[in-house]
Amino acid sequence: MTTALQKGIDTIAKATEEDRNQNYREALRLYEHGIDYFIHAMRYETSSERAKDSIRSKCEEYLGRAEKLKKHLNQPKEPEKKKEVKEDAGSDDDSEEDPEKKKLMQQLEGTVQVDKPNIKWEDVAGLDAAKESLKEAVILPIKFPFLFEGKRKPWKGILLFGPPGTGKSYLAKAVATEAENSTFISVSSSNLVSKWLGESEKLVRGLFELARARKPAIIFIDEIDSLCSTRSDNENDATRRIKTEFLVQMQGVSNDNEGVLVLGATNIPWMLDSAIRRRFEKRIYIPLPEAPARTAMFKLHVGKTPNTLTEEDFRTLGKEAEGLSGADISIVVRDALMQPVRKVQTATHFKIVSGPSRSNPDVIIHDLLTPCSPGDPDAIEKNWMDVPSDKLCEPVMTMQDMKLSLAQTKPTVNEKDLEKLKLFMDDFGQEG
């Protein structure tokens, strides 16, 4: 698998080539993507301090070049004379940048998702209305920008709210995968709250500046209620300033957020400040899954694990799992998948069966051992410790295993929580 470091080297090579050919806009885009890969490699792939220092110096070099290209592209074009960017590395431009701001921006660089989560729309069971709204807000403006000219504008703020475990964060991962050529920035309160006075507001401002510099961009804020809860008279002054800065950046007089979408997710939308709620133009309710969606979830989570379940069994499970969220269903299936393992662990008798080899499924082995009841005529008394590791034939998961796990799993959402969410939905929400 190609590492982020190798991807960064390849991307920077392309950027240098475009820079040499004076395709400055494309070169700028490639420089920024290359730097993202380098930062990812420095954080997650490299443990050597010497290697990190080398990557860091390269990032600073290419960041300087990217800044010069950005300034050049923002200058008004001269009609006749083609303006070129100076390659002088010892220019005074680098010294003009505020070192404190540069440090904050580097801190926020880690929130940019370099590698896509690889989750497609079809991996999200149900939630068709929510998916269509997200496609309308994110995918269409990127693919067909001419559709959103004049008075027709894409949504700039979408709030996903609903019970925990219904797929709000999963939907955001699907957006990150499907929104090609866009920057996905995922943040939480830990990325934006600092113990130093005044730094939190600068981080919020820096977050939006980063998104504007890399548009089209999506800012995803999970559990947004932790940042933007209702303002009160006795709250901490620093907390109020963060909320104020967030309000200004989302829809302030001097800020142009064209090409920037703020995507928020919360389980307790009634805790949000009314001004923040107003800035999320679309407020989409992500409810507990219906029976067809629950059926699809059981199929997705079982996957290719050996089982005897039929299509009718999956539909039955979908009906009987009423009240369970997507996360609850995931737990039910995981527990059911462990039932064959438990049979092996608790078995006192095994019998000889035939089955495919693990290394080569086309080869049939005739002396495998599988758990059985003591009353089986072919039963041999032994426990799992006596079975060689290459001779075990695992029991297949059955409908009985699934029903046993379903009976033992309790829903994580109660009626009281659903009533609050439905009340918020009636007052402020929409189905998609």
**Tens-place pLDDT, residues 222-233:** 888 888 877 777
pLDDT at residue 334, as a whole number? 93
Greater confidence (171 vs 179) lies with: 171
pLDDT in tens, 183-197: 888 887 777 777 777
Q: What is residue 81's three-state secondary structure?
A: coil
* CB of 209 closer than 8 Å to CB of 107: no
Interatomic CA distance for residues 179 and 175, integer angstroms? 6
- Average pLDDT of the segment spanning 375-400: 89
pLDDT at residue 110, as a whole number? 66
Interatomic CA distance for residues 169 and 45, integer angstroms? 25
Pair of tokens at residue 160: 């996903």
pLDDT at residue 223, as a whole number? 86
Q: What is residue 289's three-state secondary structure?
A: coil
b/e code 114-147 from CB counts within 10 Å (16+ = b):
beebebebeebbbbeebbebbeebbbebbeeeee
* CB of 231 closer than 8 Å to CB of 243: yes
pLDDT in tens, 290-328: 899 999 999 989 988 888 999 999 999 999 999 899 899
pLDDT at residue 329, as a whole number? 93
Residue 177 has pLDDT above 50, yes or no: yes
Residue ranges and CATH numbers for the domains of the chain are: 1-72 (1.20.58.80), 121-288+423-428 (3.40.50.300), 291-411 (1.10.8.60)
Q: Which of these ranges, 92-101, 210-219, 404-413, has the smallest mean pLDDT? A: 92-101
pLDDT at residue 91, as a whole number? 42
pLDDT in tens, 27-74: 888 888 888 888 877 777 777 777 777 787 788 788 888 888 888 887
The DSSP bridge partners found for residue 349 are 372, 381
Task: List the Cα angle 174/177/183 in 5-degree steps.
Answer: 115
pLDDT in tens, 75-87: 765 444 444 444 4
Interatomic CA distance for residues 109 and 248, integer angstroms? 22
pLDDT in tens, 255-300: 677 778 888 899 888 888 888 888 888 888 888 888 999 999 999 8
Alpha-carbon distances of 262 from 14, 68, 143, 249, 286, rounded to whole Å: 31, 28, 19, 11, 17
DSSP 272: B
Q: What is residue 219's three-state secondary structure?
A: strand
pLDDT band, residue 98 (cuts 50/70/90) = low
Alpha-carbon distances of 374 from 200, 347, 354, rounded to whole Å: 66, 9, 19
Query: Strands, E, within 199-285: which ranges?
Result: 217-222, 260-266, 282-285
The reply to whether the predicted model has a pTM over 0.75 is no
* CB of 399 closer than 8 Å to CB of 392: no
pLDDT at residue 213, as a whole number? 83
Pair of tokens at residue 195: 């113990």
pLDDT at residue 86, as a whole number? 46
Q: What is the mean pLDDT of the chain?
A: 82
pLDDT at residue 8, as a whole number? 79
Question: What percentage of residues in the chain have a pLDDT greater than 90?
Answer: 15
DSSP 353: E
On the CB side of 264, CA atoms within 13 Å amount to 30
Pair of tokens at residue 37: 């890969």
pLDDT band, residue 207 (cuts 50/70/90) = confident
pLDDT at residue 248, as a whole number? 85
Interatomic CA distance for residues 220 and 387, integer angstroms? 50
Residue 198 has pLDDT above 80, yes or no: no
* CB of 154 closer than 8 Å to CB of 216: no
What phi and psi values does residue 222 have, to the nearest 5 degrees?
A: -80, 145
Of 123, 229, 226, whose CA–CA distance to 176 is shortest? 123
pLDDT in tens, 103-123: 667 667 666 766 677 788 888
Amino acid symbol at 431: E
pLDDT at residue 114, as a whole number? 61
Chain centre to alpha carbon of residue 263 = 11
pLDDT band, residue 254 (cuts 50/70/90) = low
pLDDT in tens, 409-419: 888 888 888 89
* CB of 160 closer than 8 Å to CB of 284: yes
Of 339, 333, 323, whose CA–CA distance to 297 is shortest? 333
Of 107, 148, 154, whose CA–CA distance to 257 is shortest? 154
Pair of tokens at residue 77: 């074009």
Spatial strand order in the sheet of 217-222: 183-187, 217-222, 260-266, 157-161, 282-285
